[in-house]
Copies of this chain bind each other. A is one copy, B any other.
Amino acid sequence: MPGSVYTSLARKMATHEGRVYPLHVGDTWMEPAIGCRMEDLSERDWPGLHRYAQPQGRPDLREAIARRTSERMGLATDAGEVLVAAGATGALGAMAGAIIEPGDEVLILAPYWPLIAGIVRSFGGQPVPVPFLGQVSSAAEGLEAVEAYANDRTIALYLNTPNNPTGRLLERAWIEALVDWSRDRDLWLIADEVYEDYVYAGEHTYTRPLAPERTFSTHSFSKAFGMAGNRCGYIVGPEEVIKEVRKVSTHTFYSTPTASQVAALRALEIADAWIANARERYAALGRFTAERLGVEPPSGSAFLFLDVVDRLDDRGLGGFLEDAADRGLFLSPGTSFGPYPTHVRICFTAAEPALIHEGVELLAELMGR
């Protein structure tokens, strides 16, 4: 997408009169659970709240994460295999710094979360998108897809399920096939599972229990508990390599904010009901959105990826985005997620439900639905 279109969209967003529908942002309108908000945290209850935490994360938080991970994955997990990081982004950045040498290639199942490509590039690696979600319809086809893009510079395979931007899950059989293939080729597996708690149909498959010796899995308090501004997530992987990841994280953000870690710990203790409620509300919004737009409802995550090819004119996707922006509706271009110049992504949890309803209505009109 040309910079001029971004500039034009940014200007429209800054100057739009009337309601704005920020469906391009991957966030939630919900506030964190009571007891997990900044105003709930004090030095009195949490000595050292404003001082450095351990670079690998507070011991109490890492222990709590290890317990939750052991349960969820059905794989005994030790705190030494856990690194708390400045969001899953910080975790993936540090992981990339630890495993990538300049020239290394990383296969990325597409469409993909946009930052992963830049993260790989930040450390001299080459992201290699593999068209996959929505294009592959069996485990065998999945293997053909990755095989076609692999070579002897390939060091890792990145997958994201529940998927941002498509709202789809990777099926267990497909993941199992990809794991076997990665083991044969001695590749790292990077399983980005930040939407693990937001599954509306089918079942989330954890990659790590299938290959704990080569899998990094990343998780997010931002997404799970509605605290993206806190910048706290984590990565779980083989202890010896997590030590290397920690060296990079120490040199890129040092430690994860102490108050954010405390908020995360509290969330693990008291906010499972918050997740259950959010899941129900997100699912309803996803169903409404899909139905109004005439597409399949999302199986997970907070997104839908829509092909608008039949509504594009000679201005291409940029024109579609500008027309939407003229109505106060902001969307993400498909090109941010891989080679998808006729798609847009919307986040159906980015604003209050009433705003989502109105924004989806506007989009339906633009899509002629």
Task: Give 1 or 0 for each of A22-40: 1 = CB within 8 Å of chain B CB.
Answer: 0001011001100001111
Is there a chain B Cβ closer than 8 Å to A162's Cβ? no
Q: List 9 A-B contacts (CB under 8 A).
A: A50-B227, A50-B229, A87-B254, A89-B252, A90-B254, A102-B124, A124-B124, A229-B257, A259-B259
Assembly of this chain: how many copies?
A: 2
Is the Cβ of A32 less than 8 Å from the Cβ of B50? yes
Is the Cβ of B118 less than 8 Å from the Cβ of A251? yes
CB-contact partner of A230 in B123, B252, B257, under 8 A = B257
Residues of B within 8 A of A119 (CB): 251-252
Task: Name A1-56 residues within 8 Å CB distance of B.
Answer: 25, 27-28, 31-32, 37-43, 48-53
Is the Cβ of B115 less than 8 Å from the Cβ of A250? yes
The answer for the CA separation of A48 and B259 in the assembled complex, in Å, is 16
CB-CB nearest in chain B for A45: B39
Cβ distance A162 to chain B, nearest Cβ, rounded Å: 20
CB-CB nearest in chain B for A36: B50
CB-CB nearest in chain B for A30: B50
Is the Cβ of A52 less than 8 Å from the Cβ of B253? no
Is the Cβ of B37 less than 8 Å from the Cβ of A39? no
Cβ distance A352 to chain B, nearest Cβ, rounded Å: 12
The answer for the CA separation of A139 and B97 in the assembled complex, in Å, is 38
CB-contact partner of A256 in B40, B53, B231, under 8 A = B231
CB-contact partner of A38 in B94, B229, B259, under 8 A = B259
CB-contact partner of A253 in B31, B41, B43, B231, under 8 A = B231
Is there a chain B Cβ closer than 8 Å to A228's Cβ? yes
Is the Cβ of B229 less than 8 Å from the Cβ of A51? yes
Is the Cβ of B25 less than 8 Å from the Cβ of A93? no
Additional A-B contacts beyond A51-B229, A115-B254, A257-B260 (18; CB < 8 A)? A27-B52, A31-B50, A38-B38, A38-B39, A38-B49, A38-B259, A39-B39, A50-B226, A86-B252, A86-B253, A86-B257, A90-B252, A90-B254, A122-B251, A229-B258, A230-B259, A252-B253, A257-B257
Task: Give 1 or 0 for each of A101-126: 1 = CB within 8 Å of chain B CB.
Answer: 01000000000000100110111100
CB-CB nearest in chain B for A261: B229
Residues of B within 8 A of A363 (CB): none
The answer for the CA separation of A212 and B91 in the assembled complex, in Å, is 34
Task: Give 1 or 0 for each of A220-232: 1 = CB within 8 Å of chain B CB.
Answer: 0000001111110
Is the Cβ of B38 less than 8 Å from the Cβ of A42? yes
Is the Cβ of A42 less than 8 Å from the Cβ of B37? yes
Residues of B within 8 A of A124 (CB): 102, 124
Residues of B within 8 A of A255 (CB): 229, 231
Is the Cβ of B228 less than 8 Å from the Cβ of A51? yes
Residues of B within 8 A of A40 (CB): 39
CB-contact partner of A229 in B49, B118, B251, under 8 A = B49
Is there a chain B Cβ closer than 8 Å to A169's Cβ? no
Cβ distance A138 to chain B, nearest Cβ, rounded Å: 34
Cβ distance A264 to chain B, nearest Cβ, rounded Å: 12
